[in-house]
Structure 1
Amino acid sequence: MIVDGVEMRGVGLGDAAGLAEAFARNRAAMAHVEPVRPDAFYTERGQRERIEGVLAERDAGRIVSYVLVEAAGGAPVGALNLGSLIRGPLCGGIVGYWVDRAWQGRGLATAALEEVCRIAREELGLHRVEAGTLVDNLASQRVLAKAGFEQYGLAPRYLHINGAWRDHRLFQRILHDDPPPG
């Protein structure tokens, strides 16, 4: 259990219908922080195809992906991806996350980020985890700070969000200073 009756587990094809419903329910609220998505993204089929791609990337060692679900009924209430996994001298990855608007403000995103950082260090052997937020996304910046991330830069026109290239504040969490695995 992460917090408040919510569990975090690896995403699977069985999550497609629930994630489609959750994304559709949060579509308007997330539009300002998300890429423009085709209507198919918000369908079970669209989510099944997306998850199939994520699972292929996971099997190739490039991503780990989690869904946050209500412990009682298993309905998705958020998700986290730790992707762009790089080994060797960098030994890091980039995290992205979202939480259903009905579940925000309960510490769920912070607890999930802390758990992903634990996994990144203890199971994946990563040195650092990075994240980016839109410059005006103060709520997400607070979440990252609570989870031990520190701001380290500004990336002009970093991601194409809501129809335009947007500036992002960059954050990092250094997990340890051990040398990379041999």
Structure 2
Amino acid sequence: MLRPVRAGDGAALSRAYLSNREHLAPWEPTRDESFFTVASQERHAQECVSDAQAGRSIRFVIESDDGEIRGRMNINNIVRGAFWSADLGYWIDVSRLHRGLASRAVAHVLDYSRTELRLHRMQAATLLHNMGSQRVLLGNGFERIGLAPKYLRIAGEWQDHLLFQRLLEEPLSARRERP
């Protein structure tokens, strides 16, 4: 189940990040010990709620039948004005990989972004060697738009990223059929 992060999610977020600490380390910023605490994750959950209310971002959790958090889907940096765009970020629990969960959740978030948020464009970035995430994006109609040198500080180093976008008003086939 995909649902917005809510107040009170701190303990479940802490468990999710602790159980995925090694799995996520190569793909995320370096985290200090305090990041993994219930208190830190509860503060983060409160920030997620505030950011959603202010229209800055909407962050979701993927919750399994047992109530545990098995991943995240984040619509970050929502910009209106002439841009109407946002950045997509996500991760899936190591025990749930290769089941199509990321692809289905990204599709749901794109639909939500188009119908509820009325966004024009969604952007995502992946490390050059993150082929799994690139497959998820391409399968959801994203197109590669460029290379961003030293784009984000991941695993303690400034790393190059591939940039992708999806124009949300267009059907998937419209972009793929263009010469």
Match of 1:99 among 88, 92, 112: 92
Structure 1: runs of 5 or more not aligned: 1-6, 178-182
SS in 1 for 2:113: helix
Question: Is residue 169 of structure 2 the alignment partner of residue 173 of structure 1?
Answer: no
- Shift of the alpha carbon at 1:14? 2.3
Match of 2:173 in 1: none
Question: Is residue 141 of structure 2 the alignment partner of residue 133 of structure 1?
Answer: no
Question: In 1, distance between residues paired with 2:80 and 2:55?
Answer: 10
Match of 1:41 in 2: 35
Letter in 1 for 2:63: V
Structure 1 residues 71-82: aligned runs within 5 Å:
72-82=65-75
Match of 1:161 in 2: 154
Question: In 1, distance between residues paired with 2:112 and 2:91?
Answer: 18
Letter in 1 for 2:19: R
Question: In 2, distance between residues paired with 1:21 and 1:68?
Answer: 13
Letter in 1 for 2:159: R
Question: Is residue 19 of structure 2 the alignment partner of residue 25 of structure 1?
Answer: yes
Structure 1 residues 33-72: aligned runs within 5 Å:
33-70=27-64, 72=65
Question: In 2, distance between residues paired with 1:136 and 1:73?
Answer: 33
- Shift of the alpha carbon at 1:45? 0.8
- Shift of the alpha carbon at 1:150? 1.1
Structure 2: runs of 5 or more not aligned: 171-179
Question: In 2, distance between residues paired with 1:114 and 1:26?
Answer: 23
- Shift of the alpha carbon at 1:13? 2.0
Match of 2:115 in 1: 122
Deviating 4+ runs (over 6 angstroms): none
> For the Cα contact (< 8 Å) 2:73–2:88, is it kept in 1?
yes
The superposition leaves residues 109-137 of structure 1 with CA deviations (integer Å, 9 ceiling, x where unpaired) of: 11111111101110001001000000111
Question: Is residue 81 of structure 2 the alignment partner of residue 84 of structure 1?
Answer: no
SS in 1 for 2:129: coil
Q: CA RMSD in A?
A: 1.0
Question: In 1, distance between residues paired with 2:44 and 2:153?
Answer: 19
Letter in 2 for 1:43: T
Question: In 2, distance between residues paired with 1:44 and 1:158?
Answer: 30
Letter in 2 for 1:8: L
Match of 2:2 among 5, 8, 12: 8
- Aligned-residue sequence identity (percent) comes to 41
Q: TM-score, normalised by structure 2?
A: 0.92
